[in-house]
């Protein structure tokens, strides 16, 4: 942990547990002031071809982080071509006719987007721009069949080494039967083997267009020179056709549909259908997450882990956030016969959320403010956050509005969201019981 992160942790610990959270110090004010200060340092460049660049200059950084986001994720895979977006992510590391590159980045394909993350020395930025602009236009599918075999092995390892992924895939398929959110990201072995170079070329031509790209650059660079590089290497790329949003099918409330499988671990997933991230209910849900699992003092940790019923408890938004998704509580149980009790405890703790006190609400907000400040101190995290908000909310400024939105969450908002979304009739559960 870096010295700045140690400082943040000690700072928050002091004001949550030692200072009076009801008035001795307003940590919200500190967070809001930092938000305003950092917002002024962001510069957005929108090219005529539709490509968006978000620049944050930080002279104290020794490197530069680039977060390259294509707004197209696996929901754009055609039903008979599942796994296309994920395999194209792999092929993007193979270079062009002019430039050969080999895995110089971290990459991830989600339902909502495909992302590439690179950290470079400042003097390498122009070389990066030359490579990036070339592969956006002239990608070759070098070693296609070898890479397809790599992905087949990836799928095998993913589900062999992490049984949770198999349960998650089955849960989402059950939860979203008529929606792209129910499709697998990587595809089954049969679906992967059915992919061809022509399928990937068509996907690349349709979706790897400037209008779909958000490139966030955070770190130590010359802002004027960076603007010149962007104009030189990216402004002339043809815009291509406009990508039409995928039509997402809204869920229908169901009567406790569950998924149950056998495996190597004891896992229970309880998912509640939640609105898109742009809905105002997303902010109370974010606070609820902090109340449930943010620290060893959080409700589900005390009820499950501290009571020796579970190894761990987590909360995720699955599989994406641009449409109706699942606010998912995932518990690794210590014994398979604990699962039924764990499910009851989860629902009991959620019901008790309607009776939380102001102090607990404020503590949860402080944890969220702490996470926000930590992200400000990290080039990688800040680049990802700015990119995410520009994509999901259509404006990077909403990242800096986030603390104020959290501040506005009241006890009545928590109660409303619990009543509206976190009820049995709006949920689905996935259960894996160990055969060992």
Please, how many CA atoms are within 13 Å of residue 122, restricted to the half-sphere of its CB?
A: 15
pLDDT over 50 (residue 276): yes
**Confidence band for 16, pLDDT divided at 50, 70 and 90:** very low
Angstrom distance (rounded) from CA 284 to CA 410: 8
Q: 267 and 225 in one domain?
A: no
What pLDDT does 251 receive? 65
Contact 293, 301 (CB under 8 A): yes
Tell me: do 229 and 297 sit in the same domain.
no
In Å, how far are 190, 201, 203, 389 from 197, measured between CA atoms? 16, 6, 10, 33
For residues 34 and 73, membership in a common domain is answered with: no
Specify whether 348 is located in the same domain as 213: no
Average pLDDT over residues 214-233: 98
Picking from 234, 269, 300, the residue at the C-terminal end of a domain is: 234
Q: Is 9 inside a domain boundary?
A: no
State residue 23's pLDDT score. Answer: 45
pLDDT of 103 > 70? The answer is no
Q: Which one is predicted more confidently, 384 or 5?
A: 384
pLDDT band at 205 (very low <50, low <70, confident <90, very high): very high
Query: Can you tell me which residue has the tokens 């940590």?
Result: 27
Instruction: Identify the weakest region by mean pLDDT among 71-80, 103-112, 194-203, 369-378.
Output: 103-112
- Which range, of 165-169, 340-344, 357-361, 432-436, averages the lowest pLDDT? 432-436
d(CA 220, CA 268): 45
Residue 245 confidence (pLDDT): 81
Do the domain assignments include residue 293?
yes
Structural domain contains residue 290: yes
| Nearest residue to 218 (alpha-carbon basis) of 29, 53, 13 | 53
Cα–Cα distances (Å) from 321 to 42, 177, 317, in that order, read 25, 17, 7
Statement to judge: residues 202 and 318 lie in one domain: no
- Residue 88 in domain: yes
> pLDDT averaged over the chain?
90
Q: Which of 12-16, 65-69, 426-430 has the highest mean pLDDT?
A: 65-69
Average pLDDT over residues 70-75: 96
Q: What's the pTM value of the predicted model, to 2 decimals?
A: 0.91
Q: Domain end: 208, 234, 260, which one?
A: 234
**Over 50: is that where the pLDDT of 15 sits?**
no
Q: What average pLDDT does range 216-231 have in this prediction?
A: 97
Boundary-marking domain end, from 207, 234, 261: 234
Number of domains in the chain: 2
Q: Does residue 206 register a pLDDT over 60?
A: yes
Count Cβ atoms below 10 Å from residue 409 Cβ, excluding itself. 21
Residue 244, domain member (yes or no) = no
Residue 168 burial (C-beta neighbours within 10 Å; 0-12, 13-18, 19+): buried
Residue 96 resides in a domain: yes
Q: What values do phi and psi take at 304, rounded to 5? A: -110, -55
Residue 8 has pLDDT above 90, yes or no: no
pLDDT single digits (tens) 127-175: 999 999 999 999 999 899 999 999 999 998 887 778 889 999 999 999 9
* 266 and 226 together in one domain: no
SS3 181: helix
User: Is 70 exceeded by the pLDDT of residue 3?
Assistant: no
Q: Are residues 58 and 174 in the same domain?
A: yes
239 inside domain: no
- 256 by Cβ neighbours in 10 Å (0-12 / 13-18 / 19+) ranks as exposed
User: 29-38: which pairs have CB atoms within 8 A and are 24 or more residues apart?
Assistant: 30/369, 31/369, 31/372, 31/373, 31/403, 32/403, 32/404, 32/407, 34/373, 34/376, 35/372, 35/400, 35/401, 35/402, 35/403, 35/404, 36/400, 38/376, 38/400
Q: Does one domain contain both 227 and 121?
A: yes
Q: Measured between alpha carbons, how far is 345 from 173 in angstroms, rounded to an integer?
A: 26
Tens of pLDDT along 292-305? 999 988 999 999 99
Residues 354 and 262 in one domain: yes
- At 28, the pLDDT band (50, 70, 90 cuts) reads confident
Query: What digits encode the pLDDT tens for the residues 288-335?
Result: 999 999 998 899 999 999 999 999 999 999 999 999 999 999 999 999
Q: Whole-angstrom Cα distance, residue 66 to residue 51?
A: 15
Q: Are residues 185 and 266 in the same domain?
A: no
Residue 143: CB partners within 8 Å, gap ≥ 6?
94
Within this chain, do residues 104 and 133 fall inside the same structural domain, yes or no? yes
| 252: Cβ contacts below 8 Å, ≥ 6 apart | none
Least confident of 100-104, 125-129, 155-159, 188-192: 100-104
Better-scored residue on pLDDT, 248 or 343: 343
Which pLDDT band, with edges at 50, 70 and 90, does 393 fall under? very high
CATH number at residue 379: 3.30.830.10
User: What range does the domain containing 413 cover?
Assistant: 22-38+251-434
Are residue 28 and residue 68 in the same domain, yes or no? no
Q: Both tokens of residue 300?
A: 């589900």
Q: Does residue 8 lie in a domain region? A: no
């Amino acid at each position: 942990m870096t010295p700045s992160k140690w400082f943040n942790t000690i700072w928050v610990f002091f004001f949550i547990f030692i200072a009076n959270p009801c008035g001795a110090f307003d940590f919200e004010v500190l967070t809001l002031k930092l938000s305003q200060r950092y917002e002024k340092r962001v510069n957005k460049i929108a090219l005529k071809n539709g490509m968006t660049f978000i620049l944050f200059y930080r002279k104290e950084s020794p490197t530069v982080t680039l977060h390259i986001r294509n707004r197209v994720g696996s929901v754009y895979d055609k039903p008979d071509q599942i796994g296309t977006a994920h395999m194209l992510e792999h092929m993007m590391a193979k270079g062009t006719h002019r430039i050969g590159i080999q895995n110089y980045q971290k990459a991830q394909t989600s339902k909502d987007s495909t992302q590439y993350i690179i950290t470079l020395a400042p003097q390498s930025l122009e070389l990066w721009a030359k490579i990036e602009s070339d592969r956006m236009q002239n990608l070759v599918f070098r070693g296609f069949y070898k890479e397809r075999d790599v992905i087949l092995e990836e799928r095998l390892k993913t589900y062999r080494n992490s049984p949770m992924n198999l349960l998650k895939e089955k849960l989402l398929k059950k939860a979203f039967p008529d929606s792209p959110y129910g499709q697998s990201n990587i595809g089954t072995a049969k679906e992967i083997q059915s992919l061809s170079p022509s399928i990937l070329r068509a996907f690349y031509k349709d979706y790897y267009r400037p209008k779909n790209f958000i490139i966030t650059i955070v770190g130590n660079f010359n802002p004027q020179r960076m603007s010149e590089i962007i104009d030189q290497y990216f402004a002339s790329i043809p815009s291509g056709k406009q990508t039409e949003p995928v039509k997402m099918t809204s869920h229908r409330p169901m009567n406790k549909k569950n998924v149950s499988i056998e495996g190597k671990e004891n896992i229970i997933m309880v998912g509640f259908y939640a609105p898109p991230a742009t809905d105002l209910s997303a902010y109370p849900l974010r606070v609820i997450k902090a109340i449930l699992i943010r620290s060893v003092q959080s409700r589900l940790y005390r009820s499950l882990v501290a009571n020796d019923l579970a190894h761990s408890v987590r909360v995720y938004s699955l599989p994406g956030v641009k449409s109706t998704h699942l606010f998912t509580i995932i518990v690794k149980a210590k014994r398979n016969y604990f699962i039924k009790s764990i499910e009851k405890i989860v629902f009991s703790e959620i019901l008790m959320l309607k009776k939380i006190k102001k102090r607990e609400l404020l503590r949860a907000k402080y944890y969220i403010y702490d996470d926000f400040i930590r992200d400000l101190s990290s080039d990688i995290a800040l680049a990802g956050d700015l990119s995410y908000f520009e994509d999901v909310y259509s404006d990077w400024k909403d990242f800096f509005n986030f603390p104020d939105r959290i501040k506005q969450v009241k006890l009545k908002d928590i109660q409303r969201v619990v009543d509206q979304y976190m009820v049995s009739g709006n949920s689905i559960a996935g259960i894996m019981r160990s055969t060992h």
